[in-house]
Amino acid sequence: MNGPSRDPAESPASDPASPGHRPIRSFVKRAGRLTPSQARALEQLWPRFGITPPAAPLDLDALFCRAARRTLEIGFGNGDNLAELAARHPERDYLGVEVHDPGVGHLLLRMEREGLENIRIAHHDAVEVVDRWLPAASIDEALIFFPDPWHKKRHHKRRLVQPAFLDRLARVMAPGARLHLATDWAPYAEQMLEVCEASPHFENTVAGGGYAPRPETRPQTKFERRGLKLGHEVFDLLYQRV
């Protein structure tokens, strides 16, 4: 995620479909402060670019009014990364998931300003989006950038990148689809690497395994640049759906 707001997902260890089961969430929903322009964007632009919770899996061709290769970004923060990718690749479609209102409003404003038509937004928990909204093998690329590392050991169960979530994510990713993770928290990077290496659904695209150099396909955000100035190392992981 490209800012202070983080993973819009329930814990992969929880089952949101279980009756009476209270899920462990990997995000904290903060109210945030909407600017007047962000509030206007949410009111006026959401009907055009937002997705309401569907009763059945989405028809993505109908949603985007075309057939195209599709990227899913989970936890897009303020949306700058998603907007830059959408501007670079008008031939692709982008589905962004974020729970925090200011980030959604910020992205909508940028979409309006730059005339970006190839983005749709789910303002919802990512696990439910993956489990219930997306058809099988419908995503060609999945991005999870700078998710909340939940530093304290007792909170590690809230981390998004865990085996059960990768199982869920693999279902909606087409064979050969690309999974790109990035974090600036070394202990979480180690966990991500361990989980991805153990997954039967993904293989590391780096010869010999391990972390990847930052690919040019991932724009460097303000959040990342701030971290680099503070001396934080950034870890990229690149995998392919097998």
d(CA 117, CA 90): 8
pLDDT at 32 over 50: yes
Whether the pLDDT of residue 133 is over 70: the answer is yes
Alpha helix (H) residue ranges in the chain = 36-44, 46-49, 60-64, 80-88, 101-114, 126-128, 163-172, 186-198, 222-229
Q: What is the pLDDT of residue 26?
A: 45
- pTM beyond 0.75: the answer is yes
Kindly state the DSSP code that residue 98 receives in the 8-state scheme. -
For range 5-34, the mean pLDDT: 48
In the predicted model, is pLDDT for residue 226 greater than 90? no
- Closest by alpha carbon to 107, among 81, 142, 143? 81
Work out how many domains the chain is built from and give that number.
Answer: 1
Residue 9 lies in a domain: no
pLDDT tens by residue, 164-204: 999 999 999 999 999 999 999 999 999 999 999 999 999 99
Q: What's the CATH number where 119 sits?
A: 3.40.50.150
Any domain includes 24: no
Q: Tell me, what DSSP letter sits at residue 157? A: G
Closest CA to 45 of 96, 105, 90: 105
Backbone angle region of 154, left / alpha / beta, with phi > 0 → left and psi within -120 to 50 → alpha: alpha
Does pLDDT of 17 surpass 90? no
Indicate the pLDDT class of residue 22, thresholds 50, 70 and 90. very low
Instruction: Say if 22 falls within a structural domain.
Output: no
Tell whether 16 is covered by a domain: no
15 belongs to a structural domain: no
Catalytic residue among 80, 93, 140, 148: 148
- Reported as a single tens digit per residue, the pLDDT across 58-103 is 999 999 999 999 999 999 999 999 999 999 999 999 999 999 999 9
Average pLDDT of the residues of the chain:
88
Q: Is position 148 annotated as part of the catalytic site?
A: yes
In a domain? residue 21: no
76 residue type, one letter: F
58/149: higher pLDDT? 58
